[in-house]
Amino acid sequence: MTALRATALLTLAALAAGCQSAEDDTEPAAAPATSASTAPTGTAAPTPSESPSAVTAANTDEVCRAVDKLILTGSKKIVADSADATRDEATNEELDARLKRTLAGLADDVREQASRAEDPQIEALITSTAKQLDAGARSASPVKWMSATFVNIPPKLARECRA
């Protein structure tokens, strides 16, 4: 029982550290858009399809940052809950129940961000993330799920959830 908790705390501490570094990464600023006045005379003006991508890109950045923040905050809560469970000498079942509640709440928060995404690919990515969190909340062993699945969520979001 103590070894399981120690493993859980080490896994979660590493996870929280990984989430923190992902949030601290800064992306270079986008190059300024060229104006229509620089186009040679006689060329067609930009098509209307270019404008929605700029709106989507702005929304994507906002939504992805919100999801990153939710994952980081959720990770910190999980670490704190696990530390509290160890200090309180909670049973494995009590720790599992705490983790499941936190994961279920995190899934709901992430799902809410997915509904805000204007880019269908980003919406699908974030919805998939919420489904993974739901699976963790239903898992028979959320500690094992955390070390096998949850630790992969922040790097995947860092790679794929970008404008």
How many CB atoms within 10 Å of residue 161? 22
Residue 145 lies in domain: 2-22+56-160
Per the structure, the count of domains in the chain is 1
pLDDT tens for each residue of 71-116: 999 999 999 988 988 888 889 899 999 999 999 999 999 999 999 9
Apex 124 CA angle, 120 and 128, nearest 5: 170
Do the domain assignments include residue 48?
no
Do the domain assignments include residue 44?
no
Task: Please tell me the predicted confidence (pLDDT) of residue 101.
Answer: 95
Do the domain assignments include residue 147?
yes
pTM tops 0.75:
no
Do the domain assignments include residue 38?
no
Question: By percentage, how much of the chain surpasses pLDDT 90?
Answer: 54
Do the domain assignments include residue 125?
yes
Helix and strand totals (H; E) in the chain? 6, 0
Tell me the C-alpha distance between 79 and 38, whole Å.
54
Do the domain assignments include residue 15?
yes
